[in-house]
Amino acid sequence: MGKQGPVAKGLPNTLVAVVNLWYKPLMTQDNNNHELGVLEDRLGYYFKDKGLLTQALSHRSWAVEQGGSVQDNELLEFMGDAVLELAVSDLLFARYGDQCREGELTKMRSFLVNETQLSSLARRIDLGNFLLLGRGEDKSGGRNKSSILADAFEAVMGAVYLDSGMDTIFDLVERLMGGILDDAREMIAGYDFKTRLQEFTQSRFHRVPEYKVEKISGPDHQRTFHIALYLNGSLVATGTGRSKKAGEQAAARMALDKLGSGEPLVHSEDTADP
Q: Does 77 qualify as catalytic in the annotation? A: no
Task: Find the mean pLDDT for residues 172-196.
Answer: 79
- Give yes or no for residue 209 having a pLDDT over 70: yes
Q: Which of 75-79, 132-136, 198-202 has the lowest mean pLDDT?
A: 198-202
- Give yes or no for residue 21 having a pLDDT over 90: no
pLDDT tens by residue, 90-119: 999 999 999 889 988 998 899 899 898 899
Q: Name which residue leads in pLDDT, 193 or 262.
A: 193
Q: Does 154 qualify as catalytic in the annotation? A: yes
pLDDT tens by residue, 52-69: 999 999 999 999 998 877
Structure confidence at residue 126 as a pLDDT band (50, 70, 90):
very high
Q: Name which residue leads in pLDDT, 184 or 6.
A: 184
Structure confidence at residue 143 as a pLDDT band (50, 70, 90):
very high
**Would you state the pLDDT for residue 11?**
60
pLDDT tens by residue, 225-247: 999 999 989 999 999 887 888 88
Q: Which of 192-206, 228-242, 243-257, 258-272 has the lowest mean pLDDT?
A: 258-272
Under 8 Å between Cβ of 86 and 166: yes
- Give yes or no for residue 17 having a pLDDT over 80: no
Task: Find the mean pLDDT for residues 253-270.
Answer: 71
**Would you state the pLDDT for residue 14?**
59
Structure confidence at residue 6 as a pLDDT band (50, 70, 90):
very low
Q: Which domains does the chain have, with CATH numbers?
A: 13-189 (1.10.1520.10), 193-271 (3.30.160.20)
Find the catalytic residue in 49, 77, 151, 154: 154
Find the catalytic residue in 77, 81, 151, 183: 81
Task: Find the mean pLDDT for residues 137-152.
Answer: 94
